[in-house]
Amino acid sequence: MSLRSADTVALMVVAALLSGCHDSSRENGTLIFSSAQAERRVAELNGEIESQPDDPNLHVELGKLFLSEEYTDAAIREFEQALSSEPQHAQACLLLALALQKQPRPNMTRVTELLLRAVQIAPQNAQAHLNLAQVCDKRGQSERAVDEFQKAIALSNDQAILVSAHLGLMALYQRQGEGARADEEYEAACRIYPGVKDMIVQAEINRSTPPPQYPGDPRNDGQGLHPRLETRMKRAKEVISEMDGDQQ
């Protein structure tokens, strides 16, 4: 079964739930894009914004492009401008909340406020409820997180959202020691996408055995930043054995 969107989204969600880490921006003062097409589109959008500076949709599109290129600060500026022009722009709220979480020290209070605004503006938006659930879970607001995960499930027919919500509930119930309920959520996710187990194993391996962040970095060989390769391989085998045991 092929489910590229669920695979990508759910793996990101599982990895975030297991590791509690954030993505980092690669901004360094010079914007270098991954393709000539992306660079052209940025130039086109900047030109359109010059003539229509208050169009929130142009700022959102430009912000999404910056975000896809990992230029987090530039994306945040565009989403902020979109909300300045249209405070009730639900997509801008969602995207700004996402971008803020990619900062080294995200303002989770602001993130929560943006997501609360998003679900108020668009109460039928399953993605908004899912994102709010994940943030509430990270902040230890378990009761609200459960409620929002369940709303996302009730509102969505999108497999990626459903898998992510069930896995979010699974992780939450596991931390609370409610094994039976966690198993139910795991089984629900597997019914939607049978590749869930492989995603969870890979996410746990990634958390437990982080590869060197920068190829060739002298710190990547056990000098305070990353475990040695032998350690990572040993831990990977242990993780697989542990998770296989849990499923028996």
Every domain of the chain and the residues it spans: 4-20+51-208
Do residues 144 and 169 make contact, with C-beta atoms less than 8 angstroms apart? Answer: no
Which amino acid does the sequence have at 229?
L
C-alpha span between 214 and 208 (Å, rounded): 18
> What residues have CB less than 8 Å from 95, skipping those under 6 apart?
60, 63, 64, 67, 75, 79
C-alpha span between 111 and 92 (Å, rounded): 12
Percent of the chain residues past pLDDT 90, beyond the cut: 62
pLDDT in tens, 58-106: 999 999 999 998 899 999 999 999 999 999 999 999 999 999 999 999 9
Residue among 16, 8, 23, 111 at smallest CA distance from 71: 23
Residue 234 has what pLDDT? Answer: 57
Average pLDDT of the residues in 124-136: 96
3-class DSSP assignment, residue 105: coil
Which amino acid does the sequence have at 14?
V
Do residues 152 and 126 make contact, with C-beta atoms less than 8 angstroms apart? Answer: yes
Residue among 122, 116, 124 at smallest CA distance from 91: 122
User: Which CATH number describes the domain made up of 4-20+51-208?
Assistant: 1.25.40.10
Do residues 5 and 160 make contact, with C-beta atoms less than 8 angstroms apart? Answer: yes
pLDDT in tens, 195-232: 888 877 777 766 666 555 444 444 344 444 445 545 55
